[in-house]
């Protein structure tokens, strides 16, 4: 494992986690702004794009850091879930039962993304600790 890149991945995941929390706040702002999908959601949409590209970068970083299959797959799952968020946003029709149901799943998927990103960050932290312990053990 490349510890420098693994540390960078850990920081990257923390930044993604922060952006995911901000994303919920921006959704609340958009709803409070008027409820319709329009100007109030502009920052929510922009942050969603940043999350998509940032999540894809996390996969590349996990691969480069050689953190292990599980972490790479979890970062890839995160990217897939963010892409699914975009798709749900595009397919939703506000004010219809279909649209409201899709927005419900959209919110739940967002919560799942927060949990997934937090858990993946913990796994990277644990791998870094294991690597540090192994290095310390080999020095003695």
Helices (H), the chain: 3-33, 42-65, 69-91, 97-139
pLDDT digits (tens, 9 = 90+) for 84-107: 999 998 888 877 898 889 989 999
Assess contact for 82 and 113: CB atoms under 8 A: yes
When pLDDT is cut at 50, 70 and 90, the band that residue 37 belongs to is: low
pLDDT of residue 110: 96
Q: Please state the domain count of the chain.
A: 1
Tell me which residue range forms the domain holding 77: 3-139
């Amino acid at each position: 494992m490349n510890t420098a890149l693994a540390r960078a991945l850990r920081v990257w995941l923390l930044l993604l986690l922060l952006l995911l929390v901000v994303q919920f706040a921006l959704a609340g702002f958009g709803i409070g702004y008027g409820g319709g999908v329009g100007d109030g959601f502009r920052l929510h949409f922009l942050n969603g794009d940043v999350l998509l590209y940032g999540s894809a970068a996390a996969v590349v970083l996990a691969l480069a850091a050689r953190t292990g299959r599980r972490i790479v797959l979890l970062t890839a799952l995160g990217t897939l879930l963010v892409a699914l968020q975009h798709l749900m946003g595009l397919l939703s029709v506000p004010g219809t039962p279909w649209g409201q149901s899709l927005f419900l799943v959209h919110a739940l998927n967002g919560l799942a993304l927060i949990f997934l990103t937090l858990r993946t960050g913990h796994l990277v932290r644990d791998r870094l600790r294991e690597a540090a312990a192994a290095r310390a053990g080999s020095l003695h």
